[in-house]
């Protein structure tokens, strides 16, 4: 039961956090985030633009066997939940959402979602070092997408302010 609840929550969060557009946007943004960039003087130093940062990514995971398996699983679960099969691609079906999809929605739902994750992990008996799949999904989204996006925005603001 909890696995299905986590899968449904993951689908909802994918829609409301606008993850697909965030992932595409993240590929277009230069990835300058690293642990060593905490020094503020590095923001003001002139960086040489390399041609590599302007190129497209070397590879994508969207057609990997793992991604295809996850997509098929999500389609099956969505069909099981709604009770009818969708015609065509999932992106062709119009979705009615309560609010606009936005990556910043994570800031509004993070605390209640954390409480819900604790409840799920307590019910499933997850150990502290082994989080539930929804917790791993949220952690990966925050680390890999949200923080990088916010860092790129801040770097752009600092760059604009120093010109």
Task: With beta carbons less than 8 A apart as the criterion, state whether 148 and 160 touch.
Answer: no
pLDDT computed for residue 163 by the predictor: 79
Phi and psi dihedrals of 71, rounded to 5?
-60, -45
Q: Please state whether the predicted TM-score (pTM) of the whole model is above 0.85.
A: no
Q: For the chain, which ranges sit under pLDDT 70?
A: 22-64, 78-94
pLDDT computed for residue 34 by the predictor: 47
Interval 51-93: pLDDT, tens: 545 555 556 666 667 777 777 777 777 666 655 555 555 555 6
- Residue 39: HSE in the Cβ half-sphere, 13 Å Cα cutoff: 5
Domain boundaries of the chain, sorted by first residue: 2-162
């Amino acid at each position: 039961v909890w696995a299905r609840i986590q899968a449904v929550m993951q689908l909802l969060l994918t829609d409301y956090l606008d993850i697909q557009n965030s992932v595409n946007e993240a590929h277009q943004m230069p990835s300058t985030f690293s642990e060593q960039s905490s020094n503020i003087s590095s923001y003001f130093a002139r960086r040489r633009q390399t041609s590599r940062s302007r190129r497209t990514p070397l590879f994508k995971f969207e057609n990997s066997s793992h991604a295809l398996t996850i997509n098929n699983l999500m389609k099956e679960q969505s069909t099981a939940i709604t009770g009818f099969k969708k015609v065509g691609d999932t992106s062709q079906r119009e979705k009615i959402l309560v609010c606009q999809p936005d990556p910043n929605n994570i800031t509004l739902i993070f605390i209640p979602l954390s409480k819900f994750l604790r409840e799920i992990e307590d019910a499933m008996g997850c150990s502290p070092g082994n989080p539930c799949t929804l917790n791993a999904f949220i952690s990966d989204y925050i680390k890999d997408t949200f923080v990088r996006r916010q860092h790129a925005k801040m770097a752009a603001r600092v760059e604009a302010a120093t010109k």
